[in-house]
Structures are given as C-alpha cells and as structure tokens.
Structure 1
Amino acid sequence: MPTLEQTLAEYEIDLLRIIANRWDVDLPRDHKRAVSALSKAMLDREKAESVWERLSDEQRGALQVLLASAEHKMPTGTFKRLAGEVRPMGADRLVREKPHLAPISVAEALYYLGLIAYGGGQAFVYVPSDLAPLLPTNKTGYDLSAAAQRSEPLPSVPEPQNIRPADTSLVDDLTTFLVGCYIEDVPLVDESLSDEMRMALEPFFIGKVDAARVALMVNLALDMGIAALEEGKIKPVPAKARSWLDVPRPAQVRALAESWQSSRRFNELLHVPTLRVERTGTWQNDPLLARQAILNYLELVPPSDWWSVDDLIETIHEEEPDFMRPDGDYESWYIRDARTNKYLRGFEHWHAVDGALLRFILNVPMHLLGLLDIAESGKFCRLTPYGRALVGSGEWPPSVPNAPNEGKPITVDADGTCRALRATNRYERFQLARFTNWIGGVSSVEGYRYLITPESVARAKRQGVRIEQIITFLQRVTDNGVPQTVVQQLQTWAAAEAQTATLEQLWVLRVPSKALLDDLFELPKVRRYLGARLGDQAVAVRADQREALLKALRENNLHVDVAQ
C-alpha cells in the first residue's frame, strides 16, 4: 500500500489544510513542502495516539476492522456498507461546504482526518502503510468481538412436508451418458449438450434431463478426466473412466462431490432460473467462491436435522455478503431479472442475485449430488451422510465392494435380452452396452434392458471387440448363467465372420516400448486413429487416417519417421 507521503501528494492543497487543521499542524504554502510537513507530523507516534483517542467508538471500530484486513485495505463497496460514504467534492465545494465540520458518515470523518484514503481509481479504501503501525488499536472501547465471531449454530426445525430425499441417480445416468458417448458422436454445445441431445437422452435416464442437471453431469465428467473432447465430441477416456465406473457407489458419489467442489468448468450462476447472465467478456465470476461460502456456513447447521434455507442465507448476508465479489463490486456485472429483463445492479439486489445463487446451489447441485435432502420446494434442507462428510461433520460412507446393494449380476434370457440393475457394477453395464442395443425405457427398480443383435455385435466388432470376448464377458458377469442358445447364436455369427475375408491397405505404427503404445491409447486425439494392436509395440493404421494420425502425434510432441 502507498505510504502516507505518497498518499498526501495526490491531494489538493485545500484538502491538506483541512487534515492539517485536525492534527494541529501549520503548513507552508508550497504543496511539496506542505506534504512533507504534514506527513512528518502525522507519523509522530504521540500525535497519532492523540488523534486516535479523540475518535468515537464507532469511528475506532470501523478503522480497526479496516486495519485488521489484509494490507490494511478493503473494497470500497464493503467499507461503504461498514462506515458509509465519502461525498465527492471539488476544491470550491470543499471550501464552501466544509464537510469535515459535519461529516455525514464515519468514513467521511476518518477521511478528513487523513486516516483513510482511496486507491485503485476508488476501487478500495486503505490506511497508509507507515501510518497503520502507529495507531494504537489495542486502545479501543469498541467491542469487535461480536463482529469477529461467527453466528450461533442454526436451529433445527420440525420435520417439514413434501420431502424430496436425495438420491445417487447421477451415478447411473453418468454411466449411461458415457456409453452413449462411446457409441455415438455427442458434441459439446455451450459447455453442455444441445436441447435436442438432452431430449434424446430422456428415455435412457433415471433422473431428469433438465439443463442444469445435464450440464453438471457433462462438466464433472470432463473435470474428472473420465471423458475428454475429441474434435468437439465428448468421448470416454478408457482407463480413467474404468477407474470411476469400477468402484462401489459410495466412492463414485464422493468422486463426483469432490470434483464439483473444485470445478470451475460448471458455473451455477449461469443456471439460476430467475437470472439472465450476460457474458460480455468484461467480467467473470469465480464459481468456487460461492461453493466455498456455502460449505463453510454449512458447519453451522444441525448435522442430522432439518434447517431453514432462509436462515442460512440471511446469516451469510449479514456476515459475508461479498462472498463471490471480493472487490465489493455490485455495479459492473451484467445480470438481468429473467422475468422483468431489468438489470440487477447495486447491493439492494443482493437477495435477487447472490441470495438466489446460494439457494440454487443448495437445491440443485447439492441435492443432485446426493448431499442434501430438500423439502417444501427448497425452503428446508437436511444434510445426508454424504453431505455431512463433505462439510467435515461426518465420515464418508464406506465403499464395500461386496455390499448387499452392490454387484448384482447381469441376467441373460434365451432370446438375448440382458438385464442390469442399478446395483449392477457400472463398469460391467458399460461393457454390456457396447455390444447390445438398448430396448425399452429405464426404471430405478427394474433397471436396464438390452438386446444382443447381429447389428450390435457388428458395431462392437468395428470397435475392436471380438465375439469370443463377448461370450467370456457374459459368462463372468452372469456367474455362468448364459443360456446355451445365446452362446450358440454368438458362435454362429463368429463362424460366419470367419468365412469372410477382407483385403485392405494398412500402415503400421511401431514404437520403442509397450508403455509408450499404452500411453498413445490413452490420448483421445490419438486413439481414434489407431486400429488393432499388432503385438506390444505396433498397431495397425488405416491408410485414409495416416495423415490425421501423424498430425495428432506431432501435436503431442512425438517425432515420427515415415518409411516409404
């Protein structure tokens, strides 16, 4: 922060005289000498203590809050709510109205004493760096303890009506989504999916396909690295996808919750239904700040009982209103009321913008992630075991691989119909969907139904899945319960394939180690051009994809020698 002399050097001589008069200092006429004389006098410890003792308790209290802030500075908007405003005045008005004799606020009184100043184009208020240590902050009759302490824990409320328990269907629908991205080309549109794509997914999802839920799911998949973009299309990343799909549900929920906690890709402010956010490029909110505020204040709620959302939001409003605006700026964000289309600027719209965002975070992502039960249209909430673990008031539910509600086997009927329950291992369901066609809808009770067809098996074959692998997989996940008719049909198709010969021109990519080839298969932009592996250090490449593969390899800093 600027020193006192640097600060005073920016003032007109009339303002310097007002400050000097309050400090009982005679100033020379020359501006530079006046600055030096006033600075020297104000940095006298005894004079500084004398001025401090003449302050009112309210003035000392506001100044002490400012002094306790990092670098002794605070956003102007925040300090204005604490201590009021300082009226802008030119030299003539300053001499004529003499505002120092009847200041309209605590801030104005401190300003004309030279104890506070404005910097950064009026963006923040500060105490000059060499003046701050001289002020005897230990000598104050103002009780700051109440301001420094957090509120009392929020009270619990009686059990409300119309309870909507949280569930973990996001795990199931994300599994389904990854399958869809594996089989089809699913483009990323505005950090989510197009409306048409969302509606196409609806028959296959347990939960709703509203925009916020789908955007949350898509962005968490990308954040966790279980999916990646390939030329604008969302594709699963095999190894990372398996690491999430192949663990018990509690571990999957935890991974989603912790990814959401640190995600900057998913921005709740853009999905609050009562707001219309204009992304002009001149401002950007940080979604982590709002989530961190929510999680911090959830430490105040009853860990196992219901509590009022209004009470929590009002507590944040009173104690930390600038939770997502560190600079205290309530004027330059382009946010409209979705109903009236009017801009919502100024602190008076805090509840319509900042409060609405807090309410949305509680009722949408935290509920969808299985962290909060909600009731009476979101007026009341209760932490689930997952929610208590995330805020640090409980342990994460254990991930037991062979728990009664996990690992239910897939069943196969004689006609090739396959059934997988929600409790079926998600990785096994993902694998099943690769070589089957989905039939019917989906039910949280009856689960998912698939049908093995020649077309679905041919599709899997094009993706490198052999019929022998399909039979082995089905025998394993059904505990050897595959009807013989299904096995025979698959073997018949395999025999028919064996009678078909294909002659095509291929290139062979050779690498110096198996580890490098494994790494290439993990790179989405490279993997799409690789064919069948030819041992540990070679892979087939179609002739029409050679140039695209070369480009992708070079983009990943891999030098390639092309043998002609």
Structure 2
Amino acid sequence: MPALKKMLLSYDLDLINRISRFWGVDQMNADFSTAVNNLFNAMNDPVLVVEILDSLTQPAKEAWAFLGENNQKVTWTNFSRKFGGIREYGPAKREREAPENHPVSAAETLWYRGLIGRAFLNIPPEPREFVYIPDELLTLIWQSRQSNSLIPVRPVGKSELKKELIADTRILDYMTDWLSARRMNRTLPSETYQHWGIPESFIKAIANQTGLIDKTGVPETESLKRFFLTDRAEVMHDWFTKWKNSATINDLRFLPGLVFEGAWQNDPVTARTVVLENLQNLDPTSWYCLASFINLIKEKNPDFQRPAGDYDSWFIRRTGTECYLRGFENWDEVDGALITSFITGPLYWLGMVNLAFGMENSEVVAFKLSSRFFTKALEPAVVNISIKEPIIRISTDLLFTVPVFSSLSLRYQIGRFCDLISSSAGETLYQVTPTSLMLAQKQGLKPGQLVQYLEKIIKTPLPKTLALMANRWEKHGLESTIEKKVLLRAAHPEVMLSLQQNARISKFILEVLTPTTVIIDKSGVDLIKKTLIELGILTLVELDV
C-alpha cells in the first residue's frame, strides 16, 4: 500500500489542517511541508491511533474493519457502494461546508481523519482506483496492544514448523452436508466427523445458534435460503460473532476425555473474551508457540473462567476414572486444555487462526492470527473470499465429487438426491442410488428437478446418463434389481414338482424360475435337504447357512 507519508503529501494544505484537528495537531502558520511532518509524527503515535479508532462511529468502525480484513485495500467502487462516498470538495467549499464536522458516510468519517487513502493501483486484471489503509497504521495498532502484554509469548520461526493448516471456510461445506442429511432423516457415519476434524456436537451447536435448524433438529427452510444466498465471508463473520457471544455453546463441556458432574455453572462468554483479548496483543505476521500463549494466561490471568478463583466446587473427572481434577494443580488439564481447544477448535474452524505442527510432533505446536482476526475491538469484519469456486465432477455412473468451496446450495440439493458414499477433509462423494431417489420421492422430489438445477449452475455438459436416468425413473420408477437369492436346482423336473406339491416345503418356494430351478427362503434349507434325503437325493449346499 502507499506509505502514510506519501498519502499525506498528495493532499492540499487545507485538507491536512482539517485532518490535523482530529489528531490534536496545532498547524498555526505552518507551511505545507511542516504541516505534513507535524501530522505524520502525530499519526505515528500508537496510543493516539487507538484513541482515534475508539472514537469512531460504529459504521466507520465497520468500514475500517472491512478494509483491514480485505488485505487493506478494496476497489473504490465496491467500498463506496457499501459505506458511502466522499464528497469532492476543494478548499473553498470545504471552508463553507466543513464536511469533516458533518460527514455523510462512514467513508467520509475515515477520510477526514486520515485513516484511509485513495489511489489508482495497477492490480490485475486492470488498473483501478482503490481505497486503502496505509501499512503504518495497522502496525501501530499492533504495537499499542503489544505494549499491554506483560509476559511475552514466544514467536516460532518457520524453520521450526513442519506443516501449516491455513484457516478457510470449509466448515460451511461440512455444515451443508450435515443439513442435507438431517433434511433426509439420515445420519452421517461417525468417521465423517473424524475426516472433517470437527465434532458433530459443534456443528449442531452452531446450527442451533444460527437458526439453521428448529428445536426438533429439522432444517429451517427460510434460514437455509438466507444461508445459501449470503456470501461465505459474511456467514463466517456471523457464525464467529454468535459463537463469541453465545452462553449456550459451552466449550468447556465439549472437552474430550472429561466427565462433568453436579449443578455448577460456568460462563463460556467470559472465558472466550479473555482469550480473545490476549490474542489481540499478538503480531498478526508472526507464528506463536501455543504452549507459551497458554502460559501467558496462566501467569497473567489464571482464573479467567473461575469465579473468585474457585478450583474446588467444579466436579470434573477423567473419563473412566474416579480421579477428580480439583485444585489449581490441575489447571493444565482443565483450563489450559480449554485454551488449547479454543485455538485448535472454534477459532481455527471459524477462520480466525492458522495452525502449525512441529518438526517432531504430531500435535499443533504453533498458531498465527489469520487476516480475518486482526481488526479493531474484537469485531472481525467481512472477509474477502477470493477462492475460485471449484468444479463439481459428475461421472457417467452418477458419482458426484463435490469439493469444498463449491456452491453450497448445489451441494445441499445433491445431498438430498444422493447417498453420501464417503467424505474427506477436501471433498464429499455422493451417488444417485435407487434408495436415495425413493427417499427423495417421499419428500416430493423428482430427479428431473436435480437435472434442471445442475444445468442452471454447472456450465459444463452433464453426463447423458443423468438426464436419461431421471426421465426413466419419473416414468417407470425402479426398473432393475440386483439381489442375493438362494437358488435350488434339481436335475429332473419331477423332483422339483414333488417339492412344490409338498405342503411343508412349498411355503419356502418364493419364485419358480424354470421347471428345475426355484428361489427359496434361506430358512427352509435344512428342511428341504431332509426332505430330499427321504427321496434318496443328496444336496450340495454352496453357501454359508
């Protein structure tokens, strides 16, 4: 981004003076060069920067946060559409109107405080006008917060890290798979959640908190529509905010390996707030040791979730034991474990932190704040999701490969018409089957609707077998069946006839295929063998009965 000094030098003296008033800079009789230097020095005070940001109106804070979460720059067209324009005034008209005292938009509020600039940037696909935040301002915010941290958190060099997990929006895809299964009264296999790395309890808790399901667990139609029509970034922001402020999502109770007994209550919102406030003090460009961050809170604010430092009234024990984790000596197993779960769980799943594994460790050892986290006042803004929507592949045998980040509405519809074959962290495999179509039919769905929906969204040609199948199914329903059956074959027709005429045996004959071949009920095998022996005929049985 253009540097702060360069931005200020592009303004006229009148605008510099108007911005200076908000920063408490006296520019009496100062020439242009002196005025720019005076303002530049004031704007390099991290404490003053934070004070200015704190004084902003809520719309202006949201506009600033939006820029901060979109790599500090957004096209002017997009920004002004969301947060209003800036009136093009020269010095004379500014003198008459004093627009800095009566801003007409959030954009104008930021402009007259010098918090944003405008410039044409040569960024593909073509040069365009952007609104931006100078790099120095975000750095100063971090410095101000870092100065409040009494105990340093150990940074981790990239050479110490083996594998990085970059936060993204795939939880939305997992939620959609889960919702389509709920709609069809299906249960996803337990291994699905293992592949996702997110427990069903959290998926369900978010669905409840955001109104995606009703009290009985059934997806809400209107909520689903809003979910599918809303930008991924806005959904992630909404989910994070609802999780952050939720008193019903109790992260402590989600900790694995622990049993919670008694009527005591904890406050999940207070615990989250403390952890998030400590994260705000970290440099967004650095990786940090997870154990060191946990130690920071242990030393600085160990009672972050314990009223009055009470470590004895909560009855918590290890699963499978009678060992209760009471007293401060068990802080690491309960309170420390909760901080770990915050960072490696909800904060990662909801896109706020990136994770990393150590060179000789299979566990997460480090984390880094994602670009979505570092905003003012713990208010993560809408995130710019620039990932290109991947292609959903459909094979001729009607197997759907649905990658993460693909269309959520299309993923949901595919899930209603198909059986989930398998799921991994990166994609879900669905397949059209007679069972899935019969289940869809019970809910008033026809396969032709899926074909129409696919044709509308997918730009590549669909397999011809898909439309052919949909057409035949709607006309004829199930037309072929492959089944395991028990066949009885006789060498001579008269032997089979005698069995058919035997009242004890005939009830086990389900279908006559030929004069010497019939389908029988497996439960009648022993009786049929005994009857044939009475006729002097031995029977070769070629199945496990």
Quick one: which amino acid aligns to residue 260 of structure 1?
A: W
Match of 1:202 in 2: 191
Q: 1:317 to 1:263 in 2, by over 3 A?
A: same
Quick one: which amino acid aligns to residue 408 of structure 2?
A: R
Deviation at 1:204, TM superposition (A): 7.9
Quick one: which amino acid aligns to residue 374 of structure 1?
A: A
Q: 1:293 to 1:460 in 2, by over 3 A?
A: same
Match of 2:430 in 1: 450
1:1-20 map, 5 Å: none
Give distance in 1, aligned partners of 2:340 and 2:294. Answer: 8
Deviation at 1:472, TM superposition (A): 1.7
Match of 2:373 in 1: 387
Give distance in 1, aligned partners of 2:369 and 2:213. Answer: 29
- 1:235 maps to which of 218, 240, 246: 218
Q: 1:164 to 1:390 in 2, by over 3 A?
A: farther
Match of 2:155 in 1: 156
Match of 1:317 in 2: 298
Flag the structure with more relative contact order, 1 or 2, with Cα contacts below 8 A and sequence separation at least 6.
2
- Contact 1:305–1:382 under 8 Å retained in 2: yes
- Contact 1:153–1:301 under 8 Å retained in 2: no
Give distance in 2, aligned partners of 1:496 and 1:316. Answer: 66
Deviation at 1:153, TM superposition (A): 6.0
Q: 1:358 to 1:240 in 2, by over 3 A?
A: same
Q: 1:333 to 1:404 in 2, by over 3 A?
A: closer
Give distance in 2, aligned partners of 1:415 and 1:308. Answer: 48
- Contact 1:156–1:302 under 8 Å retained in 2: no
Give distance in 2, aligned partners of 1:272 and 1:201. Answer: 18
- Contact 1:166–1:368 under 8 Å retained in 2: no
- 1:437 maps to which of 419, 435, 438: 419
Match of 1:397 in 2: 383
Deviation at 1:220, TM superposition (A): 0.8
Deviation at 1:320, TM superposition (A): 2.5
Q: 1:470 to 1:313 in 2, by over 3 A?
A: closer
Quick one: which amino acid aligns to residue 178 of structure 1?
A: L
Deviation at 1:155, TM superposition (A): 5.2
Match of 2:402 in 1: 420
Match of 2:248 in 1: 265
1:172-187 map, 5 Å: 172-184=173-185
Give distance in 1, aligned partners of 2:399 and 2:292. Answer: 52
Give distance in 2, aligned partners of 1:161 and 1:150. Answer: 25
Deviation at 1:493, TM superposition (A): 2.6
1:479 counterpart SS class? coil
- Contact 2:245–2:269 under 8 Å retained in 1: yes
Give distance in 2, aligned partners of 1:247 and 1:239. Answer: 12
Deviation at 1:302, TM superposition (A): 1.6
Deviation at 1:173, TM superposition (A): 1.8
Report whether the alignment pairs 1:254 with 2:246.
no
Give distance in 2, aligned partners of 1:426 and 1:324. Answer: 37
Q: 1:370 to 1:454 in 2, by over 3 A?
A: same
Q: 1:378 to 1:471 in 2, by over 3 A?
A: closer
Deviation at 1:170, TM superposition (A): 2.4
Match of 1:216 in 2: 202
Give distance in 2, aligned partners of 1:433 and 1:481. Answer: 20
Deviation at 1:490, TM superposition (A): 1.8
- Contact 1:155–1:301 under 8 Å retained in 2: no
Deviation at 1:321, TM superposition (A): 2.7
Quick one: which amino acid aligns to residue 300 of structure 1?
A: N
Deviation at 1:430, TM superposition (A): 0.5
Match of 2:324 in 1: 343
Deviation at 1:299, TM superposition (A): 1.3
- Normalised to the residue count of structure 1, the TM-score between the two structures is 0.51
Quick one: which amino acid aligns to residue 173 of structure 2?
A: D
- Contact 2:259–2:319 under 8 Å retained in 1: yes
Give distance in 2, aligned partners of 1:289 and 1:321. Answer: 13
Quick one: which amino acid aligns to residue 298 of structure 2?
A: H
Give distance in 1, aligned partners of 2:371 and 2:180. Answer: 29
1:236 counterpart SS class? coil
Q: 1:464 to 1:312 in 2, by over 3 A?
A: same
Map Cα deviations across residues 365-400 of structure 1 (whole Å, 9 max, x no partner).
32333322133333322112233359749754214x
Report whether the alignment pairs 1:299 with 2:289.
no
Deviation at 1:343, TM superposition (A): 2.8
Give distance in 2, aligned partners of 1:331 and 1:203. Answer: 38
Give distance in 2, aligned partners of 1:355 and 1:419. Answer: 40
Quick one: which amino acid aligns to residue 227 of structure 2?
A: W
Deviation at 1:158, TM superposition (A): 2.0
- Contact 1:257–1:390 under 8 Å retained in 2: no
Give distance in 1, aligned partners of 2:245 and 2:388. Answer: 29
Match of 1:369 in 2: 350
Deviation at 1:294, TM superposition (A): 0.4
1:335 counterpart SS class? strand
Deviation at 1:404, TM superposition (A): 5.1
Deviation at 1:215, TM superposition (A): 1.5
Q: 1:220 to 1:260 in 2, by over 3 A?
A: same
Give distance in 2, aligned partners of 1:218 and 1:152. Answer: 37
Give distance in 2, aligned partners of 1:338 and 1:480. Answer: 52
Q: Gaps (5+ residues) in structure 2?
A: 1-146, 478-545
Deviation at 1:251, TM superposition (A): 3.2
- Normalised to the residue count of structure 2, the TM-score between the two structures is 0.53
Give distance in 1, aligned partners of 2:433 and 2:292. Answer: 57
Q: 1:204 to 1:219 in 2, by over 3 A?
A: closer
- 1:276 maps to which of 259, 264, 269: 259
- 1:471 maps to which of 425, 446, 451: 451
Give distance in 1, aligned partners of 2:281 and 2:450. Answer: 53
Quick one: which amino acid aligns to residue 276 of structure 1?
A: V
Q: 1:466 to 1:394 in 2, by over 3 A?
A: closer
Q: 1:490 to 1:338 in 2, by over 3 A?
A: closer
Quick one: which amino acid aligns to residue 251 of structure 1?
A: E
Give distance in 2, aligned partners of 1:382 and 1:257. Answer: 17
- Contact 1:310–1:379 under 8 Å retained in 2: yes
- How many residues were matched structurally? 324
